[in-house]
Amino acid sequence: MPILSYLKALNRALSTEMEADPSVVVFGEDVGVAVSNVTTGLLKKFGPERVVDMPISEQAFTSFATGAAMAGQRPVIEFQIPALLFLAFEQIVNQAHKFSLMTGGQVNVPVTYLLPSSGSRGGWAGQHSDHPYSLFAHVGVKTVVPATPADAYGLLLTAIRDDDPVIVFAPAGAIGVRDNVDFAALAPVPLGVGRIHRPGDDVTVVAVGHLVHDALAVAEELEGTVSVEVFDPRTLHPFDWNGLAESLERTGRLVVVDDSNRSCGIGGEILATAAEQLRLVAPPKRITRPDGAVLPFARELDLALQPTRAQIRTAIEQVAKTSYSTQTEE
């Protein structure tokens, strides 16, 4: 089967959708030259009216996209750095996200925010290394974090077609992933539907974004010792609670791996929902960044604050051998 890279998948989804729907336009910095490689070839194919290089005016062009969306366009905004979301938080959260409800449903805002290389890029320091997907899930913007090339393609397509604002994080740790893909089978992936990458009986590992690949590697290592199911929610909001419930019906044990800061991260929400409503036979665990983490520049420090495979492995082993009943016996 031919190989598709994650980056090329994003590019292909944009191209496919721009061909299919003339209202799709791309806004961003250096999107013409395609510095991030996501928009490669699009300027030539679709022209400067649809691939629009913006001045460094994120607040303006984010709400400019909202206005354009109200007037019938379907803008996709590429942001060069996840931290730019802090700059445009007002425009996304307080404007785009609120219009539908606050106008009594008179208008929708079909804008897609695309974040290529979210999370640590390795040696880019604190202002370039955040992974703020939990913030957007928290405020209620539809939030997508694809882990694989096929999902990147399918979810970006769906995000663009969706009538609400949708934010798509393409983690730096996943963007280099290449997979064998049947191009004919590439298709939109619905929001709110998780994916089991590897079935297992003992422990469900919910992994977000690039961490899916780490979870899979650890599951492989533990083959024969612990049977690990790797569940990739793909969308954080809406979240596939039913999919997770089914998995936990079988395993009853849960580990969550999440590249968010610990307090108020999506990992905490997953644990809370599981504790409240789903079947757990053992105390769950989550692996996250520390509370309030700011990733320092030096490589060793940067890595020290992100979830590691060793941590995932230890957590799985611990969760596999404890249970609420043995705990209360102790």
Partner 1 sequence: MTDAAGLYRTVRLIRRFEERAIELVKDGTIVGGIHPYLGQEAIAAGTCGALRPGDVITSTHRGHGHVLAKGADPARMLAELAGRATGLNGGRGGSMHAADFSLGILGANAIVGAAVPIATGAAWAARRAGKDLVAVTYFGDGAVSQGVVLETMNLASLWKVPVVLVCENNGFATTTRVADAVAGSITGRAEAFGIPASTVDGSDPEAVLGAAREAVDRARSGGGPSFIECVAYRFDAHHTWEHSARPRYRTDDEVAVGMRRDPVALQGSRIPAADRERIDAEIEALLDEAVRFAVDSPLPDPAGALDHLYADGLRARAGVS
Beta strands in the chain (DSSP E): 3-5, 24-28, 51-53, 74-78, 112-118, 142-144, 166-171, 178-180, 195-198, 203-207, 228-232, 235-237, 254-261, 285-289
Q: Closest Cα to residue 296, out of 120, 174, 135, 169?
A: 120
Write out the binding residues for partner 1, residues 30-89 only, by CB under 8 A.
30, 32-35, 53, 55-57, 59-60, 81, 83-84, 87
What token pair was written down for 222? 């533990």
Interaction of residue 285 with partner 1, rule CB under 8 A: yes
125 touches partner 1 by CB under 8 A: yes
User: Which one from 97, 128, 213, 237 is the annotated catalytic residue?
Assistant: 128
Residue with Cβ nearer partner 1 (53 or 246): 53
128 catalytic, yes or no?
Answer: yes
- Give the residue ranges of DSSP H helices in 132-225: 133-139, 149-161, 211-221
At 128, give phi and psi (nearest 5°).
Answer: -125, 10
The answer to the question of residue 52 lying near ligand TPP (CB under 6 A) is: no
Among 22, 47, 67, 126, binds partner 1 (CB under 8 A): 126
Q: Are 2 and 183 in contact (CB under 8 A)?
A: yes
Nearer to ligand TPP, 78 or 269 (CB): 78
Q: Which of 11, 12, 25, 29 binds ligand TPP (CB under 6 A)?
A: 29
Residue 60 sits in the site that holds ligand TPP (CB under 6 A): no
Pairing between β-strand 74-78 and β-strand 112-118 as defined by DSSP bridges: parallel
Using the rule CB under 6 A, which residue among 14, 43, 81, 167 binds ligand TPP?
81
CB of 239 to partner 1, least distance (A): 21
Site residues, ligand TPP (CB under 6 A) = 29, 56, 58, 80-81, 84, 87
Active site positions, annotated:
128
